[in-house]
Structure 1
Amino acid sequence: MNKRNVYLASPFFNDKEIVFIEQVEHILESNPTFNVFSPRKLETPDFTPQTPEWAQHIFEADITHLDTADIVVAIIQDNYDDTGTSFEIGYAFATKKPVILVYNSANTQNLMLTQSCHAVVDGVEGLKAYDFDTMPRSTYSGKYF
């Protein structure tokens, strides 16, 4: 069985975001057909944080993993759009990768993000229920901005 590469795009800058991404990581990593890359777990011991070299290394590693991904799972926290996650969604869309957007509230969502995704699911429960074998399309049905 060939495993599919999954890229997990998400902000992880505060405790709320980290708790949510950890739940999503667990769901994805529990799927035996997936190899999951979560940028949150990228180790950079050879680089000093916040330097241009460190930034370039992270950028190149993320692009490499996006290029080799079969599926991108992206998390949107509330109606806040993390610019890095937005870039990753746009890059995946431009390179014809299916994006499964996971949002964690019924708040208004960015139409550019929801419209560029293959499927939109509501929270952890929506992700658990999503059938990655058949990859059905689904759309966001709330309000947009």
Structure 2
Amino acid sequence: MTKKIYLASPFFDDEQINRVKQVESALAANDTVASFFSPRLNQHEEFELFSEPWRQATYAGDVKAIESADVLVAVIDYEDNQVDPGTAWEFGYAVAKGIPVIVLKEKSGAVNLMMGVPLQAYFTNIEDIQHYNFDELKTVPFSGEIF
């Protein structure tokens, strides 16, 4: 059995875009991943960016993709304690729907309580995502600093 993954991640600057591309590659190389949905790759280019039709299509498409996912992978590399609100919303929605969340945080620092407690597994290297068995969903708890 292989899983459908939703990839929640900010992609607003070059560093974030580079990281999410690497995670997309890691998911594509993982034998336990049947497919993944990355909002970065689903921008509804048929609509003008940030227009009302784009907003509605993006929101509806992302919600539908989360609801059809078996697992959500959340990249939570943020500056200081400033969590990306979109990623945080996607994370919380997945938890509310009973979808396991795998967290990737390459940068050092504390993790928000509301992300550190409900996660299924916590990783600090993209390679861990490539080799993680999404069928088994082994628990890897977060044990660092919480804010």
- Please confirm whether the aligned pair reaches a TM-score higher than 0.5, indicating the same fold: yes
- Distance (Å, rounded) in 2 between the aligned partners of 1:142 and 1:113: 12
Q: Which residue of 2 aligns with 1:105?
A: 107
TM-score using structure 2 length: 0.90
Q: Look up the equivalent residue of 2:55 and give its one-letter code.
A: A
Q: CA deviation at 1:132?
A: 2.1
- Preserved CA contact (<8 Å) 1:105 1:123: no
Cα displacement string for residues 37-63 of structure 1 (whole angstroms, at most 9, x for unaligned residues): 100000423211111221111000000
- Superposed displacement of residue 125, structure 1: 3.2
1:60-99 equivalences in 2 (<5 Å): 60-78=60-78, 79-99=81-101
Aligned to 1:130: 132
Asked whether the 8 Å contact 1:107–1:143 carries over to 2, the reply is yes
Aligned pairs, how many?
Answer: 144
| Percent identical | 35
Write the deviation string for residues 48-99 of structure 1: whole angstroms up to 9, x where unpaired: 1111221111000000100100010010114531000000000000000000
Cα pair 2:104 2:123 within 8 Å, conserved: yes
Q: List alignment gaps of at least 5 residues for structure 2.
A: none
Indicate the residue corresponding to 1:10 in structure 2: 9
Deviation at 1:35, TM superposition (A): 0.7
Equivalent residue of 1:140, what SS?
coil
Distance 1:106 1:131 in 2: 24
Deviation at 1:129, TM superposition (A): 4.0
SS in 1 for 2:89: helix
Instruction: Report if aligned partners of 1:106, 1:142 keep a CA contact under 8 Å in 2.
Output: no
Give the 3-state SS of the residue equivalent to 2:144 in structure 1.
coil
**Cα deviation per residue 1:80-123 (whole Å; 9 max; x = unaligned)?**
31000000000000000000011112211111011121111112
2:28 equivalent in structure 1: 29
Q: Give, in whole Å, the separation in 1 of the partners of 2:2 and 2:133.
A: 15
Report the TM-score when normalising by structure 1: 0.92
TM-aligned CA deviation for residue 31 of structure 1: 2.3
RMSD over equivalenced CA pairs, Å: 1.5
